[in-house]
C-alpha cells in the first residue's frame, strides 16, 4: 500500500469523526423522541385524573403514582438529552478542527508540490551536469 499523505490520513479521520457526530445526533434524536412520548403519556394521565368519569376515580391513586414515575423518567431523559447535546457539540467541534487541519495539510502539500515543480524547472533550465567528466573540453 502506498504511503498516505497527512491530508489523506486526516480526511479519513474526518470521515470517522463525522460518523461519530451522526451517532451522537441519532442518540439525541432518540432521547428527544422518548421525552415526547413521556410527555404525551403524562398528558393522558392528567386527563384521566381530571376526568369526571367514575371509572377514573377508582384508579386515581394509580394515576398519581404513574404520573410521579413519568415525572422521574422525564427528569432522567432531560439529563440524558443535555448530555447528548453536549456530546453532539463536542463531536462536531472535533470534526470541524480535523477538517480545518486537513485543509491546511492539503494546502501545504500543494505548495510543496508547486515549489518542487518550480525547482525542477529551474534545475532543468540552469542546472549543471552531474559530473564534470562528462563535459568535453
For 4-34, give the secondary structure using H, E and C.
Answer: CCHHHHHHHHHHHHHHHHHHHHHHHHHHHHH
Q: Report the chain's terminal Cα–Cα distance, integer Å.
A: 48
6-122 CATH fold: Helix Hairpins (1.10.287)
Q: Higher confidence at residue 53 or residue 30? A: 30
Backbone angles phi, psi at 3, to 5 degrees: -65, 130
Position 136 scores a pLDDT of 52
Cell of 118: 518550480
pLDDT digits (tens, 9 = 90+) for 43-73: 999 998 888 888 778 888 899 999 999 999 9
Amino acid at each position: 500500500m502506498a504511503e498516505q499523505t497527512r491530508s489523506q490520513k486526516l480526511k479519513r479521520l474526518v470521515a470517522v469523526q463525522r460518523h461519530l457526530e451522526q451517532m451522537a445526533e441519532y442518540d439525541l434524536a432518540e432521547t428527544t423522541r422518548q421525552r415526547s412520548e413521556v410527555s404525551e403519556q403524562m398528558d393522558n394521565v392528567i386527563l384521566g385524573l381530571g376526568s369526571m368519569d367514575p371509572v377514573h376515580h377508582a384508579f386515581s391513586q394509580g394515576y398519581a403514582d404513574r404520573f410521579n414515575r413519568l415525572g422521574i423518567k422525564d427528569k432522567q431523559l432531560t439529563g440524558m438529552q443535555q448530555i447528548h447535546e453536549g456530546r453532539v457539540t463536542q463531536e462536531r467541534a472535533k470534526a470541524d478542527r480535523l477538517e480545518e487541519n486537513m485543509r491546511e495539510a492539503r494546502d501545504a502539500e500543494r505548495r510543496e508540490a508547486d515549489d518542487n515543480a518550480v525547482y525542477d524547472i529551474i534545475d532543468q533550465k540552469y542546472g549543471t551536469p552531474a559530473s564534470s567528466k562528462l563535459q568535453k573540453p
